A and B are shown apart, each in its own frame.
Chain A
Amino acid sequence: MSAVARRGAVALGGLVVAVALGFALAPRTSDAVAVAAVAAVAAVGGFVGSLPTVRAEHPALARAMLTVVLVDLVVFATAFLSVPTDFNLATGAGMAIVLLGLSFLTGASGQISIGNGAFMGVGAFATAIWANHHATTPIVVTLLISVAVGALFGLLLGLPATRLRGPYLAGMTLAFAVAFPAILSSFNSWTGGDSGLQLPNSVTAPPWLVGLFHAGTPTLTTDTLWLTDVVMVATGVAFFFMANLFASRTGRAMRLVRDNDVAAELVGVALPRTRVIAFVISAAYAALGGALWTLLNNSVSPATYGFALSITILAVIVIGGIGTISGAIIGGVVYAYSTNVIAWFVARTGLNPQGNLASQLNGIIFGALLIVTMMFSPLGIAGTIRHLRQRRALARERR
């Protein structure tokens, strides 16, 4: 019996035992699937080779394994956390998807968008409008339609981007963000005007998906835990795709465009196409985040998707680390917990919580962090951590 075969047999055996244990003990199917998935990851890893080998030789597989494990852990954790915490985490996860799109746009093309809050709104309203007109469409399909609509808007605004350089694109996306509320109220009969839209109760998910995350029969629009888990899985999928894109041929071409567009053109990268693709992808990601928010809140309001959201998005991704994948996760966490932290701070310092200063503290802190980050550490928290680790590695080598 060869070493590989032996390792494979052990891995398979472990997998079977783990899956059996999971289904016997776990309260929900999703937990059992989560256990099984971790076991499968371990089995695959055991079969292919040690972890460093997998990372070096099969990076896509390693990323898939990492994604599965992380999503598993979060889905597990959500079952034990309180409902508000779950909701908060899921809101942050939806934001992280949006941030990932923006991070990609800047990391890949060196351009920036100040209008991603509006693209988020496009996805959010697309979901609500579609669900109200076609209540029987499975929710996964509705999400995909919303992403497509977001991509379409991105294409429309991105077309001039083929010929634009930084500041013009930023200004144009800003104009889009400012115009978005007017766009919504131009189509009042669809968007519900100032009051927005509710999701109809008849919105359905495919039975296998419901079964996966819930033991009983949930009402889709009220079960926070179910929704949280769906959002987490969607986030995992979004991150997995993006991590692969970053590392792919297209991703490399895009980084070259960012660093030196003339050189990129000389080695055969089609500049206009690359720029537009980056912009469309970032719009599609923003739309997905918005669509998930609609699902999570069971409703959508135009007030959420004003100009302020667009600049908040820019602020949290810069603080987290623009151009990096981990920066989007950090930014999502910062977004999810900023309100709580500021409320804690206000309570601690004894400020009048209804006063002008307390209500503006959010803007003052985000604005200041944005400026300080860009001046002193443009790659944000993620970049600073990476920098410190590299320095430590260098110091170790010298020793």
Chain B
Amino acid sequence: MDSFLTSRVVTDVLSGLTNGAIYGLVALSLVLVWRATRVLNFAQGAMPMFATYLGMGLLSYDWPYWVCVGVSLVAAFAIGAVTERVLVRPLYGKPEINPIVVMVGYLIILEAFAAAIWSTTPRSLPAPFSPIDWKLAGQPVGLSPFSLFEVVTALVVMGAIVGLFRFTRIGLQLRASALAPEVSRLLGVRVGRMLTLGWMLSTAVGAVTAILVASNFFTGLTPQLMDGIFAFGFIAAAVGGLDSPVGAVASGIALGVVLQFVGDYLNSNAIILVALGILIVSLMVRPNGLLTRSAARRV
């Protein structure tokens, strides 16, 4: 039994789940924004990165860890709200490439400002729990207290978002504004506020992700922290379907596990190549994602 738990396969599955939780969170934040406003947010990695710098930077002034996490989340809410109001709102109803380009510009500018203020030197964030794998009979299991914390955090955040959408009044209004803005407005939903709220939630989910990534991947916090992760998160969201939160999370986790095997049994360069291959094939088979009910486009 012990040898089974420390076998290569089980270790890969466990490490894959940890990475997959991260991809799933990025995918979830992309889906939140896409459902609310039909914008694929290319700054989805950069906005939380900025919030994380603002919040976790307070660590150097000896603020307690969890307070810094709280400040990061508040900063993320603020950045999400301001971005939606100032940058995104004027673009509703414009050709679909306009918001794409604006968000790429926003990505450039956020990363440049972060590098100008905090420099490109990585900043190490303390992990709140030990990142060293548990051992069974002297063999690492592929799971550490911190990676367990990551998976649990991801599940809690996903559960909270799903719960919010399914079971609360606000969630109902959020869904209604995304599906039928005109009708919702007539029925008294403040649609504008709901769209802003969608962006705030998405950026906050992103901030949780960014903090986990910056403490876990031995990379530390850098302005380009989320570039690579964003690509994997997008692939997960596109494979699962940009309209489906559950699909995004599920395919994120699946992607993490598959890629862990690829990295272990082939090599680390093959990871992104296989991910790209999965994306191309799945888009050819199901352009709207594997887990969405395909809807006819209205003309």
Residues of A bordering B, CB below 8 Å: 106, 110-112, 114, 156-157, 159-160, 163-168, 170-172, 174-176, 178-179, 182-183, 185-186, 262, 307, 311, 314-315, 318, 322, 356-357, 359-364, 366-371, 374-375, 378
- Check if A106 sits within 8 Å of B97, measured CB to CB: yes
Interface residues of B in 32-73 (CB under 8 A from A): 34, 39-40, 42
Expressed in whole angstroms, the minimum distance between the Cβ of B275 and any Cβ of chain A is 7
A379–B95 CA distance with the chains assembled, in angstroms: 12
The size class of the interface chain B forms with chain A is 35 or more
- Check if A371 sits within 8 Å of B109, measured CB to CB: yes
A368–B109 CA distance with the chains assembled, in angstroms: 7
A106–B287 CA distance with the chains assembled, in angstroms: 20
Using A175-B234, A360-B116 as known contacts, say yes or no to A163 and B284 having CB atoms under 8 A apart: yes
A117–B253 CA distance with the chains assembled, in angstroms: 30
- Other-chain residue from A164, A179, A318, A362 in contact with B275 (beta carbon distance below 8 A): A179
Which residues of chain B are near A357, meaning CB under 8 Å?
116
- Check if B113 sits within 8 Å of A112, measured CB to CB: no
- Check if A171 sits within 8 Å of B115, measured CB to CB: no
Expressed in whole angstroms, the minimum distance between the Cβ of A361 and any Cβ of chain B is 8
Using A157-B280, A172-B279, A182-B273 as known contacts, say yes or no to A163 and B287 having CB atoms under 8 A apart: yes
Ordered by A's residue number, 9 sampled pairs between the chains whose C-beta atoms are within 8 Å are A110-B97, A165-B96, A175-B276, A178-B231, A186-B269, A318-B105, A322-B101, A356-B116, A359-B115
- Check if A311 sits within 8 Å of B116, measured CB to CB: no
Known: A167-B40, A176-B276. 19 other contacts (CB 8 A): A106-B97, A112-B97, A163-B284, A171-B40, A172-B238, A172-B283, A175-B234, A182-B269, A356-B117, A360-B116, A363-B112, A364-B112, A364-B116, A367-B106, A367-B107, A367-B110, A367-B112, A370-B101, A375-B87
Expressed in whole angstroms, the minimum distance between the Cβ of B243 and any Cβ of chain A is 12
B108 within 8 A of A: yes
Q: Looking across the interface, which residue of chain B has its beta carbon closest to that of A183?
A: B273
Q: Looking across the interface, which residue of chain B has its beta carbon closest to that of A312?
A: B108
B111 within 8 A of A: yes
Which residues of chain B are near A174, meaning CB under 8 Å?
42, 231, 234
- Other-chain residue from A166, A168, A318, A367 in contact with B287 (beta carbon distance below 8 A): A168
Which residues of chain A are near B272, meaning CB under 8 Å?
175, 178-179, 182
Instruction: Give B110-132 as 1s and 0s: 1 = Cβ < 8 Å from A's Cβ atoms.
Output: 11110111010000000000000
Which residues of chain A are near B42, meaning CB under 8 Å?
114, 170, 174
Using A160-B287, A182-B273, A183-B273 as known contacts, say yes or no to A363 and B111 having CB atoms under 8 A apart: yes
B98 within 8 A of A: yes
- Check if B105 sits within 8 Å of A367, measured CB to CB: yes
- Other-chain residue from A157, A159, A178, A356 in contact with B115 (beta carbon distance below 8 A): A356
A356–B106 CA distance with the chains assembled, in angstroms: 19
Which residues of chain B are near A112, meaning CB under 8 Å?
97, 100-101
B152 within 8 A of A: no
- Other-chain residue from B90, B94, B109 in contact with A367 (beta carbon distance below 8 A): B109
Using A163-B284, A311-B108 as known contacts, say yes or no to A175 and B98 having CB atoms under 8 A apart: no
Interface residues of B in 71-102 (CB under 8 A from A): 87, 90-91, 94-98, 100-102
B271 within 8 A of A: yes
Which residues of chain B are near A262, meaning CB under 8 Å?
299
- Check if A185 sits within 8 Å of B269, measured CB to CB: yes
A334–B264 CA distance with the chains assembled, in angstroms: 45
Which residues of chain A are near B275, meaning CB under 8 Å?
175, 179
Which residues of chain B are near A183, meaning CB under 8 Å?
269, 273
B104 within 8 A of A: yes
Using A171-B238, A172-B280, A179-B231 as known contacts, say yes or no to A311 and B287 having CB atoms under 8 A apart: no
- Check if A367 sits within 8 Å of B108, measured CB to CB: yes
B228 within 8 A of A: yes
B133 within 8 A of A: no
- Check if A186 sits within 8 Å of B112, measured CB to CB: no
B156 within 8 A of A: no
Using A175-B279, A314-B104, A368-B105 as known contacts, say yes or no to A360 and B112 having CB atoms under 8 A apart: yes
Using A112-B101, A166-B100, A175-B234 as known contacts, say yes or no to A315 and B108 having CB atoms under 8 A apart: yes
A178–B227 CA distance with the chains assembled, in angstroms: 8
Q: Looking across the interface, which residue of chain A has its beta carbon closest to that of B268?
A: A182
B235 within 8 A of A: yes
- Other-chain residue from A114, A160, A185, A367 in contact with B280 (beta carbon distance below 8 A): A160
- Check if B40 sits within 8 Å of A364, measured CB to CB: no
- Check if B280 sits within 8 Å of A314, measured CB to CB: no
- Other-chain residue from B34, B102, B111 in contact with A370 (beta carbon distance below 8 A): B102
- Check if A171 sits within 8 Å of B116, measured CB to CB: no
A217–B108 CA distance with the chains assembled, in angstroms: 45
Q: Looking across the interface, which residue of chain A has its beta carbon closest to that of B283?
A: A160
| Residue among B102, B271, B299 facing the most chain A CB atoms (10 A cut-off) | B102
Q: Looking across the interface, which residue of chain A has its beta carbon closest to that of B299?
A: A262
- Check if B116 sits within 8 Å of A168, measured CB to CB: no
- Check if B273 sits within 8 Å of A179, measured CB to CB: yes
